[in-house]
Amino acid sequence: MIGHPRDILLREKWSGDGLSDISVEFKDRGSPGDTGSIKGPSISHIGRSFMELDHGGMVPFHRVIRISHQGKTIWKRDIKGGP
């Protein structure tokens, strides 16, 4: 899907609903399935190369796998590879 996770999140943040219905999946080494997720309201700052979370953590945009709005995928990383 076209766009960068930062652009998608900023667009949603400044739309009428904000980030309230957004969820973000990301690569999180050590978590079950090496994947973590957060809800939009947990994002306290959208920086140039990462999201800051309200508990003090950060998620770099290059680790974002999928962004959903009300359970519907609105952005997904295009992963190429494999034989």
| Number of residues written out for the chain | 83
So where are the chain's domains?
Answer: 5-75
Cα distances from 83 to residues 15, 58, 65, 80, in angstroms, run 41, 33, 21, 10
**Per-residue pLDDT tens digits for 31-68:** 888 999 999 999 999 999 999 999 889 999 999 999 99
- Average pLDDT for 3-29: 93
- Give the model's confidence band at 30: pLDDT under 50 very low, under 70 low, under 90 confident, else very high: confident
